[in-house]
Amino acid sequence: MSDGVGEAALVLFSGGQDSTACLGWALERWARVETVGFDYGQRHAVELECRAPIRAALAQRWPDLGEDHLLDMKAAFAGLGATAMTSEAEIGMGAAGLPTTFVPGRNLLFLTMAAALAYRRGIRHIVGGMCETDFSGYPDCRDDTVKAMQLALNLGMDRRFVLHTPLMWIDKAQTWAMAAGLGLLEVTVELTHTCYRGDRTHRHAWGYGCGDCPACELRARGYVRFEAAA
């Protein structure tokens, strides 16, 4: 291509259900797929420990799975104030009408850092698990935000990145169905992490978690609907 960016993909990979589905989706489409994760001082940092086992499981099917990158962003978020995602604050709704788990600017920074890494790695396609069908109201998960970020990144880095959000218009039951279609149902149940509280001690039909935080509830409801439709 004229801008020097190759046909490869970089997946924002947290170790969670959504990003694992996105990783499988990307591996079906590009021969070269790399992953990037972010350590931002998240309360459920156990998700980062799930990344390597998930990648190892996927590499059995897709042996060409590319390099992994883990970016330390704790300092960037430390001075921005605590949220229920980065401290032991109560999980619920905040005064502004957004969940207390909302981390202002998180996905904007993630996409910026991913694009900077993709620039260096000669990668054009960036894949993220943002979704506004079944989500908690985070404004940085909305399609308009992602489209605006794509424009800003392309202008600011003089590249033609394409931001892909394969989960944007599907609900959690359909995300479970996507995982099943990719042959990743067992991996998703056993290895991925979603629980905001970082609980890996309680095993449910849909995987590990506390069972009553918003992330667990959404994951559980989606699994029930997925099983009912199967």
97 CB-near residues (< 8 Å, 6+ apart): 137
- Of 3.40.50.1110, 3.40.50.720, 3.40.50.620, 3.30.70.360, the CATH number of 6-229 is 3.40.50.620
Nearest residue to 33 (alpha-carbon basis) of 16, 13, 53, 47: 13
As a whole number of angstroms, the distance between CA 178 and CA 110 comes to 24
Per-residue pLDDT tens over the stretch 90-143: 777 776 777 667 777 889 999 999 999 999 999 999 999 999 987 667 888 899
What is the model's pLDDT at position 150?
98
Q: Who's near 94: CB < 8 A, 6+ residues apart?
A: 100, 102
- The predicted structure's pLDDT at residue 136: 67
pLDDT tens for each residue of 64-97: 999 999 999 888 877 776 775 666 667 777 767 7
Tell me the β-bridge partners of 10. 34, 126
Contact (CB, 8 A) for 221 and 199: no
